[in-house]
Amino acid sequence: MSEQVHIFDTTLRDGEQSPGCSMTTPEKLRVARALVEMGVDIIEAGFPIASDGDFDAVRAVCREHPEANIAALARAVPVDIERAAASLDGHSRPRIHCFIATSEIHLKYKFKKSQQQVLDEAVKAVELAKRFVDDVEFSAEDATRTETDYLCQVCSASVDAGATVVNIPDTVGFMTPDDYAERIARVVEAMEGRAEISVHTHDDLGLAAANAVAALHAGARQIECAINGIGERAGNCSLEEVVAIMRVRPDRVPFHCGVDPTRLYAASQTLSQCITFGPQPNKAIVGRNAFAHEAGIHQDGYLKHPTTYEIMTPESVGVPASKLVLGKHSGRHALHQRAADLGYGDLGREEIGVLYKAFTRLADARKGLTDNDIVLLLEQLGFSRVGEGVTSGA
Ligand code: KIV
Ligand code: ZN
């Protein structure tokens, strides 16, 4: 039986705080609309203490989406928690997300505090947040470099103080799937079902999505992620990747979520228009090459049946259509198809032979051939569009 997983989107918080990603309130509202339309469970709309702009953006997202579960981030200090509470004031489904670092490294170099001091501050923070809202998430920053017994102790104390969700961030992207799963299993056991376990993975080793999925198997039921995987340094777990993994591999990942996968591409495009960069071309699911085929063998297989080289249809994730990219690796089959698509009819074997020779010469010399280049080539060779005269070349 497939179990429900909550998707906590942090595009507007962890994502927004990374280089090139800061957004104005109208831009944040555009992205929030895409998130609501897609069906994410929780939107982390900002870090209100960070700036007046962040505070206003959280308020604006709450105003425009009165039914959505909206989270605001706060360090485990009263001034942050009070500011987060004020930004969410009057909202129907507010969550305060408070965090404090728990690893030896952070305690020693960042705080110069003892484990007991940090534990006490975590408890006080959750108690204070609880005075404003029922739904309080506690995060142990740098949890994955925290000694596990102590991590369980802090998480337990935060739940005793009223936390409803306990998040175990891999803040520095240090985990491997098996290591993360072991730690999550220990926390799940210690929580004894008293709180939902959340995971927040960073992609420093390119394992963010794999680690999040491993954590589901260990008992986590909330994934924190961001559109296009934006976030601190190498980014957060990519929302589209975890959603697609659950869809494509239910045999191995028997979990489901409320996100409509056909909205993934549109959300990715919306975000790209609001920040300074889009996803890398070969980005899984939403990159411009994710459904593009250039190699002749692949194009031939794809044209015979798309399942030969695609594990999901582009439509299933909202991508307009697969692309056959014509370049020096392409074959006759794809060229034949493109000439037909461009209106030059069903060219015969010999005609394709002529066209293919000229095409490979051009493709060897130039990258990134466009449909216009193919049309020019066809016309130079004397082909014309069906209905405009002869279709055969000179
Ligand atoms: O990476 C991290 O630890 C965070 C926390 C604030 C949840 O972003
Ligand atoms: Zn983070």
Distance from the alpha carbon of residue 168 to the mean position of ligand 2, in angstroms: 10
Ligand 1 atom, smallest distance to 231 CA: 8
8 Å CB contact between 164 and 198: no
Q: Is the residue at 328 inside a domain?
A: yes
Token couple for 2? 């497939």
Domain extent for 353: 293-380
Task: Please work out whether the CB of residue 139 comes within 6 Å of at least one atom of ligand 1.
Answer: yes
Q: Are residues 311 and 270 in the same domain?
A: no
Q: Are residues 297 and 218 in the same domain?
A: no
- Domain with 55 in it: what CATH number? 3.20.20.70
Q: Are residues 168 and 257 in the same domain?
A: yes
Q: Which residues contact 190 (CB under 8 A, 6 or more apart)?
A: 152, 155, 156
Task: Please work out whether the CB of residue 106 comes within 6 Å of at least one atom of ligand 1.
Answer: no
Q: Is the residue at 385 inside a domain?
A: no
Q: Is the residue at 199 inside a domain?
A: yes
Length of the chain: 394
Which ligand has the minimum distance to the alpha carbon of residue 141? 1
210-239: buried (b, 16+ CB within 10 Å) or exposed (e) per residue? bbbbbbbebbbbbbbbbbbbbbbeebbbbb
- Confidence at residue 388, expressed as pLDDT on a 0 to 100 scale: 64
Ligand 1 atom, smallest distance to 224 CA: 7
Q: Are residues 249 and 346 in the same domain?
A: no
Task: Say how many CA atoms lie within 13 Å of 273 toward its Cβ.
Answer: 11
- Confidence at residue 393, expressed as pLDDT on a 0 to 100 scale: 44
Q: Are residues 161 and 234 in the same domain?
A: yes
Q: Which of 217, 244, 274 is the last residue of a domain?
A: 274
Q: Is the residue at 386 inside a domain?
A: no
Ligand 1 atom, smallest distance to 99 CA: 6
Q: Is the residue at 389 inside a domain?
A: no
Q: Is the residue at 175 inside a domain?
A: yes
Nearest to 28 by CA among 51, 6, 3: 51
Q: Indicate the SS3 state at residue 75.
A: strand
CA–CA dist 151, 248 (Å, integer):
34
Task: Please work out whether the CB of residue 200 comes within 6 Å of at least one atom of ligand 1.
Answer: yes
Token couple for 224? 């924190």
Q: Are residues 17 and 53 in the same domain?
A: yes
Q: Are residues 58 and 206 in the same domain?
A: yes
Which ligand has the minimum distance to the alpha carbon of residue 171? 1
Q: Which of 274, 302, 336 is the last residue of a domain?
A: 274
* For ligand 1, mutation pick of 17, 97, 139, 225 (most atoms within 8 Å of CB): 139
Q: Are residues 8 and 60 in the same domain?
A: yes
- Domain with 313 in it: what CATH number? 1.10.238
Distance from the alpha carbon of residue 235 to the mean position of ligand 2, in angstroms: 8
- Confidence at residue 386, expressed as pLDDT on a 0 to 100 scale: 84
8 Å CB contact between 11 and 229: no
Q: Which of 274, 304, 331 is the last residue of a domain?
A: 274
Q: Are residues 184 and 307 in the same domain?
A: no
Q: Are residues 338 and 222 in the same domain?
A: no
Task: Provide the number of structural domains found in the chain.
Answer: 2
Q: What is the CA radius of gyration of the chain?
A: 26
Q: Are residues 338 and 232 in the same domain?
A: no
Token couple for 268? 């990715």
Q: Which residues contact 12 (CB under 8 A, 6 or more apart)?
A: 23, 28, 31, 32, 43, 44, 45, 46, 57, 61
Q: Indicate the SS3 state at residue 224.
A: strand
Intervals of the chain under pLDDT 70: 388-394
Per residue in 189-201, pLDDT tens? 999 999 999 999 9
Q: Is the residue at 53 inside a domain?
A: yes
Lookup result for tokens 């305690």: 107
Distance from the alpha carbon of residue 265 to the mean position of ligand 1, in angstroms: 26
The model's pTM is 0.93
